[in-house]
Amino acid sequence: MDELALLLKSRHPILVVETEDEERLIERLAEASAEAGFPFFRWSVTDGVRRHRAAHPVYETTEPGPALAHIAAAGGPSVYALCDLAPLWNDARLVRRLRDVAQSAPAQNVTLVLVGPSISIPAEIRHLCARYTLALPAADELRQLVLDTYKELNPAQKHRFALDRGQLDLMVRHLGGLSVPEARRIVGRCVLDDGALDGKDLAVALEAKRERVADSGILVFEEVRHDVPALGGLANLKGWLGRARAGYSERARELGLAPPRGLLLVGVQGCGKSLAAKSVAREWSLPLLRLDPGRLLDKYVGESEKNLRRAFELSEAVAPAVLWIDEIEKAFAGGTSGGGSEADAGLSRRIFGAFLTWLQEKKAEVFVVATANDLSALPPELLRKGRFDEIFFVDLPTAAERGDIFALHLSRRKQDPASFDLPALVAASEGFSGAEIEQAIVTSLYGLIAENGEALTTAHVTKELAATIPLSRTRREEIAALRALAAERFVPAS
Phi-psi region of 410 (alpha: psi -120 to 50; beta: other; left: phi over 0): alpha
pLDDT, one tens digit per residue, over 136-152 is 888 898 999 999 999 99
pLDDT at res. 298: 62
Q: Measured between alpha carbons, how far is residue 11 from residues 82, 97, 368 in Å?
A: 17, 19, 39
Q: Cα–Cα distance between 204 and 234 in angstroms, integer? A: 37
Q: Cα–Cα distance between 128 and 109 in angstroms, integer? A: 14
Task: Provide the sign of the torsion angle of the four alpha carbons 142, 143, 149, 150, taken in this order.
Answer: positive
Instruction: Name 129's bridge partners.
Output: 14
pLDDT at res. 483: 84
pLDDT, one tens digit per residue, over 408-425 is 899 989 999 999 999 999
pLDDT at res. 343: 44
Q: Which residues of the chain have pLDDT under 70?
A: 1, 225-233, 297-302, 331-347
* Cβ–Cβ < 8 Å for 177, 136: yes
Question: How many residues are given for the chain?
Answer: 494
Q: Cα–Cα distance between 474 and 494 in angstroms, integer? A: 23
As to burial, measured by CB atoms within 10 angstroms (0-12 exposed, 13-18 middle, 19+ buried), residue 416 is: exposed
Output the 3-class SS for 237-292. HHHHHHHHHHHHCHHHHHCCCCCCCEEEEEECCCCCHHHHHHHHHHHHCCCEEEEC
pLDDT at res. 341: 45
Closest by CA position to 456, among listed 465, 464, 448:
448
Question: Which distant-in-sequence residues (6+ apart) come within 8 Å of 408 by Cβ?
Answer: 229, 230, 232
Give 101-104's long-range contacts (Cβ < 8 A, gap of 24+). 101/68, 101/71, 101/72, 102/13, 102/14, 102/128, 103/13, 103/128, 104/72
Mark 348-360 as b/e (b = at least 16 C-beta within 10 Å): bbbbbbbbbebbe
Q: Cα–Cα distance between 334 and 377 in angstroms, integer? A: 7
Question: Which distant-in-sequence residues (6+ apart) come within 8 Å of 427 by Cβ?
Answer: none
Q: Cα–Cα distance between 364 and 311 in angstroms, integer? A: 13
Say if residue 77 is preceded by a cis peptide, omega within 30 of 0: yes
DSSP string computed for 189-209: HHHHHHSEESTTHHHHHHHHH
Closest by CA position to 335, among listed 402, 391, 300, 383:
383
Q: Cα–Cα distance between 294 and 218 in angstroms, integer? A: 9
Q: Cα–Cα distance between 324 and 279 in angstroms, integer? A: 11
**Percentage helix, strand, coil for the chain under 3-state DSSP, each rounded to 5:** 55, 15, 35
Q: Indicate the residue type of 153.
A: L
Q: Under DSSP, is residue 185 helix (H, G, I), strand (E, B) or coil?
A: helix
Q: Cα–Cα distance between 382 and 335 in angstroms, integer? A: 10
**Containing H/E element for 181?**
helix 180-194
Give the CA dihedral 102, 103, 108, 113, nearest 10 degrees. 20
Q: Cα–Cα distance between 215 and 210 in angstroms, integer? A: 9
pLDDT, one tens digit per residue, over 446-469 is 999 999 988 999 999 999 999 999
Q: Cα–Cα distance between 326 and 273 in angstroms, integer? A: 9
* Cβ–Cβ < 8 Å for 152, 182: no
* Cβ–Cβ < 8 Å for 99, 132: no
Give the CA dihedral 130, 135, 141, 142, nearest 10 degrees. 150
Instruction: Name 126's bridge partners.
Output: none
pLDDT, one tens digit per residue, over 255-268 is 888 888 889 998 88
As to burial, measured by CB atoms within 10 angstroms (0-12 exposed, 13-18 middle, 19+ buried), residue 155 is: exposed
Say if residue 470 is preceded by a cis peptide, omega within 30 of 0: no
pLDDT at res. 231: 65
pLDDT at res. 482: 83
As to burial, measured by CB atoms within 10 angstroms (0-12 exposed, 13-18 middle, 19+ buried), residue 225 is: exposed
Q: Cα–Cα distance between 17 and 28 in angstroms, integer? A: 12
